[in-house]
Amino acid sequence: MKAKKPTRLYKFLKWCLRVCYPKTTVVGAENLPDEAILIVGNHTQMNGPIVCEFYMPFERYTWCAGEMMQLKEVPAYAYRDFWSQKPKYSRPFYKLLSYLIAPLAVCIFNNANTIGVYHDARVVSTFKQTVARLQEGASVVVFPEYDAPYNHIINDFHDKFIDVAKLYYKKSGKELLFAPLYVAPYLKTAYLGKPIRFSHDAPLDEERNRICEYLKNEITAIACGLPQHKVVPYRNIPRRQYPSNIPSEVCEHEKASR
């Protein structure tokens, strides 16, 4: 694929964001073998995509909501996905903000290393681009959470991204790997876990469930094995409501048992 030529505005915006955003260390790259891998992470609002764009130590493309790449579609999507849970008194401000950010969003998401994700007939393009990038040797990063809780670390996953592996096997004859990623903004670190391999012989519904459960449980295990810290959730809620990776009752029990 011919490399994108970022616009000057994008380069300026990226520089500003890099200056403002804390440097993040990526741990666990040694867990990823030298072959095509689809990396699956916790979204952490905008933190996950930012960390992947700036700090992943290898070539990668990130799935991005296709609406954020279309000027007319940005306001409705941005308000619904980012700010619809804000207090009622502040919602008019965020509705206005959703229009103000539209040109910047289009600039950023069309110049970054992204693959547009759609939930209509255009999803065929999403899958074809993903497989093409994997065949070229790049990794692809997906943040499949949606607004349904799974546990105190992550939300549940849309599971159709697993279908990429079926198309990849058809094109390459190889079974795709899926690797878990836990992004911990409060620790300024992102953790890559050990991957799981797609089985082309198994029914696709079973593979969706098997791989998604593995990834969600591994992300949770990585998070819970780290020092106590605030987890940035999928939903854009007040920071005082952010959960801890280690619930307070567990901490109190550990203190009492020492």
Q: What is the pLDDT of residue 229?
A: 96
What's the CA gap between 141 and 30, in Å, rounded? 17
**Looking at beta carbons, which pairs linking 6-12 to residues 24 or more positions away fall under 8 Å?**
6/111, 7/107, 7/111, 9/107, 10/107, 10/108, 10/111, 10/112
Q: What is the pLDDT of residue 197?
A: 98
Q: What is the pLDDT of residue 4?
A: 65
pLDDT at residue 249 tops 60 = no
**Looking at beta carbons, which pairs linking 241-246 to residues 24 or more positions away fall under 8 Å?**
243/152, 243/153, 244/152, 245/152, 245/153, 245/184
Write down the domain spans for the chain.
37-67+132-257
Q: Give the tokens for residue 220.
A: 């949770």
Tens of pLDDT along 121-156?
A: 888 999 999 999 999 999 999 999 998 999 999 999
pLDDT at residue 256 tops 60 = no
Tens of pLDDT along 98-120?
A: 999 999 999 989 999 999 998 88
Contact 238, 191 (CB under 8 A): no
Task: Annotate 177-188 with b (16+ C-beta within 10 A) or e (fewer).
Answer: bbbbbbbbbbbe
Average pLDDT over residues 73-88: 86
Q: What is the pLDDT of residue 5?
A: 77
Element (H, E) at 103: helix 102-111
What's the CA gap between 227 and 223, in Å, rounded? 9
**Looking at beta carbons, which pairs linking 77-82 to residues 24 or more positions away fall under 8 Å?**
78/102, 78/105, 82/45, 82/236
pLDDT, averaged across the chain? 91
> What's the full length of the chain, in residues?
258
Q: What is the pTM of this model?
A: 0.89
pLDDT at residue 2 tops 90 = no
At position 243, the amino acid (one-letter code) is P
Tens of pLDDT along 177-216?
A: 999 999 999 999 999 999 999 999 999 999 999 999 999 9
CA distances to 35, 42, 131, 227 from 1, in Å: 18, 28, 12, 41
What's the CA gap between 193 and 28, in Å, rounded? 6
Count other Cβ atoms within 10 Å, centred on residue 175.
15
Q: Give the tokens for residue 53.
A: 């764009």
Q: What is the pLDDT of residue 255?
A: 39
